[in-house]
Structure 1
Amino acid sequence: MPQRRVVTGRSHEPRARFAEELRLLRAGKGGSLRDVADRLGWDASTLGKMESGRSLGSPELVEALDQHYGTSGMLLALWELAVGDPTQFKEQYRRYMVLETEAHSLWHFGVSILPGLLQTDGYARELLALGGAKGDELDQQVEARTGRRTLLEEEDAPLFRAVVAEAVLRTPLRDKGAWREQLEHLLEVSQWPHVTIHVLPQNAGLHGLVGTSVMFLKLLGGRVVAYTENTVRGELVEEIPAVQQLDDAYDAMRDLALNPAESRKFILRMLEESPCEPST
């Protein structure tokens, strides 16, 4: 029986192959881990763990690396093989991430938590830990979640509007200091010229999005798409009638919310009521 010929010297094990490709791509493009981290707005230690095979990173980070290296989806495909479950990064979410970078305006409503773009590290950490993540995995997920905040901090940041239910602001973190930091961040961000935050009071009653978290992406040319989520799945909605129905429900709900000035006063009141204890 003829000996099997080795076509390349690269690993056939998906996780090792993914790490190897990351190292080769960076070497080919030139630059250090710090250079890539500064370029993408992520932590260099996370990139180092990915190149050594100790971490696979998040889908958001792999998406950013795929664009940085111009690999046209190759890194994403290798990542899916490495995690062993392609459903962890569905085509719909991949498409949503691309569309988000092209949107000139984002409108959000969350059922029970703050939108990811407004979450501090402390808030994201406690929330993600509830899903069972810990150690390096938790660190990586927190970096992935909070790294997306840079979208609102860039010079050409999109307009962002968020409707925050009163119940969200009355559900504190266990770490009282981290909760104060989150409220302080909300108060600060609410004063940015491109960010608008509304608080939806509990006495507003039922509304059309009572069981649905949604992000609307307003794209160039007037096209609008929506990404809806519940506890078990997310869905990219592009059909015009369905998007319009969600948009109408959002507008009706926003009419029940406090205006931006009143909302800032409400957040400030929550901050004043929060215990002054340092985060641990």
Structure 2
Amino acid sequence: MPTRRVVTSRSREPRARFAEELRAMRVQRGESLRQLGERGGWDWSLFGKMEKGETVGGPEVVQALDTYYGTPGLLLAVWELAVSGKAQFRERYRRYMSLEADAVSLWHFAVSVPPGLLQTPGYAREVLAAGGLRGEELDQQVEARMGRRELLASDDAPPFRTILSEAVLRTPLRDAAEWRAQLEYLLDAGERRNVTVQVLPFSAGLHGLLSADMWYLRLPDARTVAYAENGYQGELIEETAPVERLQLRYDAVRDMALSPAESRKFILRLLEEVTCDPST
């Protein structure tokens, strides 16, 4: 079983840190660039350019390296920050991604969209395009997001619970076929041993997590950190007192949510509505 590895903090600049992580992983294995190329099935000179920071490569080669090193989704997460044009966002997100890679369990609440870890390619493409991405950058970000889903599929995948506001499930994609695929993916994900999907219906009324998506990461040292994110920015919260307050809010929302079994029935009913709608 591969050991999940924390991203180090040698450089604050994401592109430089990506190059440093690549070299550190190779050196730790005691391999030369030529050996890595031979064993990974890629041109070794590409790895050399990536380690020098001359290129970041594409998501397919980074995903292959994640598989080779046994770090599912970790390098892709750092690569995603390296290619992002939004410096402010990546600085705020950088430490969160480091912590997520090492989390022993994750809890999530969604206000308007399902978590990236449970998005289909079609859903990810539409939501990222709505945020302004186009062309090659859009393609790269979709591939990177899909690669991050490996975090929940590895042998040592952490337990993950997501509570979806009903608004998430009442806001369809323009493409009905892609929307059906997304609902089906949520159902399939909820069947995994390490994934729990719950729905918070509108009838639950007002609650304490109305304004932002929330992530809670349980770390190996038994600490819990929280991350609040909206469409414009994110905030990592590590201080004990505010994290505990946010946990209490999450617990209250979980108590108001449908059970996993009832949530599955809820999503199935929505899927039937989409499938039976003559306009689709």
Normalising by the smaller structure, the TM-score range is 0.7 to 0.9
SS at match of 1:98: helix
1:55 to partner: Cα distance: 7.1
SS of aligned partner of 1:149: helix
Distance 2:268 2:100 in 1: 30
State the number of aligned residues.
237
1:203-250: CA deviations, max 9, x gaps?
Answer: 111111100211100112321001111232111100000101110111
Shift of 1:87: 2.6
Which AA in structure 2 matches 1:275?
A: T
Alpha-carbon shift at residue 88 of structure 1 (Å) = 4.3
Q: Distance in 2 between matches of 1:126 and 1:33?
A: 37
Matches for 1:1-16 after TM superposition, within 5 Å: none
Q: Which amino acid aligns with 1:31?
A: L
Query: How far is the alpha carbon of 1:132 from its aligned partner?
Result: 2.0
Q: 1:43-71, CA deviations, whole angstroms, 9 ceiling, x for partnerless residues? A: x9xx99x969787768xx69x87xx6xxx
Alpha-carbon spacing, 1:190–1:35, altered in 2? closer, same or farther (3 Å): same
Match of 2:35 among 25, 30, 33: 30
Residue aligned with 1:227, SS: strand
Residues 53 and 183 of structure 1, relative CA distance in 2, 3 Å threshold: farther
- 1:109 partner SS: strand
Deviations 1:49-105, CA, capped at 9 Å, x for gaps: x969787768xx69x87xx6xxxx9xx79x86x877643420x42221111111111
Counterpart residue type for residue 88 of structure 2: T
> 2:147 matched to which residue of 1?
147
Question: Relative to structure 1, is the Cα distance of residues 165 and 29 closer, same or farther in structure 2, using a 3 angstrom cutoff?
Answer: farther
Question: Closer, same or farther in 2 for the Cα pair 1:108/1:224, shift >3 Å?
Answer: same
Retained in 1: the 8 A contact 2:89–2:233? Answer: no
**Other-structure match for 1:87:** 88
Question: Which one has a bigger Cα radius of gyration?
Answer: 1
AA paired with 1:121? Answer: P
CA-to-aligned-CA distance 1:233-274 (integer Å, 9 cap, x gap): 111100000101110111111111000000001111111111
Residues 1:202 and 1:29: Cα distance change in structure 2 (over 3 Å) = farther
Mapped to 2, the partners of 1:262 and 1:233 lie a distance apart of 33
Amino acid paired to 2:178:
A
1-structure distance, mates of 2:38, 2:120: 24
| Whole-angstrom distance in 1 between the partners of 2:119 and 2:99 | 21
Alpha-carbon distance change, 54 to 228 in structure 1, aligned in 2, over 3 angstroms: same
Per the alignment, residue 108 of structure 2 pairs with 108
Paired position in structure 2 for 1:230: 230
Q: 2:166 aligned with 1:163, yes or no?
A: no
Structure 2 unmatched ranges of 5 or more: 1-14, 70-74
Structure 2 match to 1:175: 175
Q: Which amino acid in structure 2 is aligned with residue 89 of structure 1? A: R
Structure 2 match to 1:273:
273
Label 1:217 to 1:85 Cα distance change in 2 as closer, same or farther (>3 A).
closer
Say which SS state the counterpart of residue 193 (structure 1) adopts. coil
Q: Which amino acid aligns with 1:267?
A: I
- Aligned Cα root-mean-square deviation (Å): 3.7
Q: Does 2:102 correspond to 1:97?
A: no
Structure 2: distance between partners of 1:114 and 1:36:
35
What's the TM-score, normalizing by structure 1? 0.73
- List gaps (5 residues or longer) in structure 1: 1-14, 38-43
- Say whether the 8 Å CA contact 2:84–2:90 is kept in structure 1: no
SS of residue matched to 1:151: helix
Aligned-partner Cα distance in 2 for 1:242–1:178:
38
Whether the aligned pair in 1 keeps the contact of 2:109 and 2:163 (CA below 8 Å) is yes
Contact 2:89–2:234, Cα closer than 8 Å, also in 1? no
